[in-house]
Amino acid sequence: MDALDVDLLRVLHESPRIPLVELARVLGVARGTAQARLDRLERAGIITGYGPDVDLAAAGFPVQAFVSLEIAQGALEDVASELAALPAVVEAYATTGSSDVLCRLAASSHEDLQQTLIELNRTPTVARSTSVVVLSEVVAPRTLPLLEGRPRTAPRRAPAYRDAP
């Protein structure tokens, strides 16, 4: 990723519905360059979608929790299927450390969260769970600071970026 790629991602993050012509104008590159970069970032799996960001609290799910799961030995595929079947599980990751899987749950109420936790603990692959209720968001999910913090090279053929620092 070079400076143009990161700037393209920043502009898309700030204005996700920006037309391609306007994106190229803001970046100071040709429309074909902007399109080629978008296509390359998509093919590389860096851009994974253009869906809307959803505020779960505003959508009626103000209660969130992180749940660590200890699962039966070798049951990761089974637990993945079980977690995918629970709509309250908004994301889940296999982890190292004292637990095997870390999940984020969203619920409409504490009672709804409790019901989901009961369902989770009833699955045959979950040996133990530990939950932590989210009080507030301190840092929203983000990627741009990480990408912008890396040393960036200027693209070879984009005139607006030739003299970039």
pLDDT 10s digits, 112-145 = 999 999 999 999 999 999 999 999 999 999 899 9
Clarify whether residues 91 and 128 are in a common domain: yes
* CATH number (domain holding residue 124): 3.30.70.920
Structure token digits, residue 161 = 């970026």
> Would 157 be classed as within a structural domain?
no
Count of domains for the chain: 2
Rounded Cα distance, 26 and 19, in Å = 11
Higher pLDDT, 91 or 151: 91
Q: From 47, 7, 1, select the one nearest 29 (Cα to Cα).
A: 7
Clarify whether residues 88 and 45 are in a common domain: no
> Would 104 be classed as within a structural domain?
yes
> Would 145 be classed as within a structural domain?
no
Please say if the pLDDT value at position 25 is more than 60: yes
> Would 141 be classed as within a structural domain?
no
Average of per-residue pLDDT across 142-149: 90
> Would 162 be classed as within a structural domain?
no
Clarify whether residues 71 and 48 are in a common domain: no
- Residues 29-64 pLDDT 10s: 999 999 999 999 999 999 998 888 899 999 999 999
Tell me which residue range forms the domain holding 108: 63-133
CA distances from 109 to 68, 77, 91, 116 (A): 20, 29, 18, 11
Clarify whether residues 20 and 81 are in a common domain: no
> In this predicted structure, what is the pLDDT of residue 164?
52
Phi and psi, residue 100, nearest 5° = -100, -30
Average of per-residue pLDDT across 7-23: 94
* CATH number (domain holding residue 29): 1.10.10.10
> In this predicted structure, what is the pLDDT of residue 122?
93
Q: Residue 163 — very low, low, confident or very high, per pLDDT cuts 50/70/90?
A: low
Residue 132 zone, left/alpha/beta (φ > 0; ψ -120 to 50; rest): beta
Clarify whether residues 35 and 75 are in a common domain: no
Q: Which residues contact 113 (CB under 8 A, 6 or more apart)?
A: 63, 65, 88, 105, 107, 131, 133
Clarify whether residues 27 and 84 are in a common domain: no
Please say if the pLDDT value at position 109 is more than 70: yes
> Would 140 be classed as within a structural domain?
no
Phi and psi, residue 57, nearest 5° = -65, -45
Which residue in this structure is represented by tokens 């505003």? Answer: 58
Clarify whether residues 127 and 69 are in a common domain: yes
